[in-house]
Structure 1
């Protein structure tokens, strides 16, 4: 592993979403990147997962598209120091390729990712339909409500210039009533800046980042409202434990995507959340499952 005491300086600004996924290659199968804070002194897990996927994709033939990832968060990352991503080339088959990535900081593994890539192929097509919901142009910008500081300072300052979000209010017209014991949340997301159209991997990695923004909060809605509805400090400790995604169809992460989320259960200090990403035209492009640590603060 490379000596982490000799590193480039942390970027002083972020000009767009591409910068969030930027990595420096420091050796064969070895990359280095910086992550911003999602909470005070804790690297944002969605960015860690997205950068790990970037590292994996850098070692795969461009003709193979990522179709799934599975990751485990083992330690919180420190946004004041870089992360090193070490890629293992597990298999390169005729149709599929598999990679394992370990994110390392301070000599310790903090996140592991397994990702599978495949050659595209034609076949039968079907999907679940999405309920009719308000268009993102009809919804308020939540960054206005988040203006301030503290734990949400990144999201209310730099974050608003790198990604856009619109949250569908609970009880909005067209929303079916959730089953008893199930919490639901619907959010429109996209990159605030245009992304290169000739790099499908970049759009997939961007979606991996976006997928971690609101999923854990869905699992905790029985304890506190989502960020856009909340007034005052958080009443719970919330952290991603693991994260899995499946990518079904091509898409662009710089165009609005509806993130339909639900949490069927929460127990034992953990909450499970599931979600699907749909295009504005109702095309199902990705599915996500995450388990989060959910603890009330005492």
Structure 2
């Protein structure tokens, strides 16, 4: 088998919709380093974009032979398009990748080193931390969650394709818009070993695309904790859930509210108080944080 016929080691799988300018920057950040290196496969699933997304992809296809492009016939929603891009990936490992996220120089090959040194893991994660590059490894979903500040960022995921295909019900939480959380926990059921790459993996201008049509209470509280709580029968313990609730408050809920107040975000905050009351009533800080949320919401 020739090098061109060998399976790629890593598929960078990009779901996209009407973000041609961001996609152009994303592909440039990738191809400026990997060029036509056959260990990479770049897969794009276009959710029936109406902008110039195809022209951007065609520009890269003219000079690169490791790019795969698929276009949906109609907009099928983020979750189904995300599922499609994972299906299209043929690499040994898959890095689902947001179209508005950009690697820092040298980080793509650090991810390759991570994979090569830890092929006994089905789940890996790249943690955004302002620390020197380092790798930590562990076992089980409690340790995985406790080491990270949330696991809902798709671009940080690196998953073993062979084990992803073993997940029997890939649609179980598809309607939540955060099916990536379910995928990671299912993979940890299959193989509890994980590794995390800590450091400045992504450029500071990553994640710059505006959010709209996104309900904070559903994604960050209702759906997230419904998924996590469904794994209590597989060993996810109460202390881990308590830790996650604090992290969600400090790193997602309050920062998102402040962004809306400052007109820096259009995230939908409807139902936030009700979600907090449903999932946080037994926490010692419940009354204090509930009052804080209510006060902040009045400032919108």
Asked whether the two chains share a fold, i.e. TM above 0.5, the reply is no
The structure whose Rg is larger is 2
TM-score bracket, normalised by the shorter chain, equals: under 0.3
Q: TM-score, normalised by structure 1?
A: 0.27
Q: Which has the higher strand share?
A: 1
Q: TM-score, normalised by structure 2?
A: 0.27
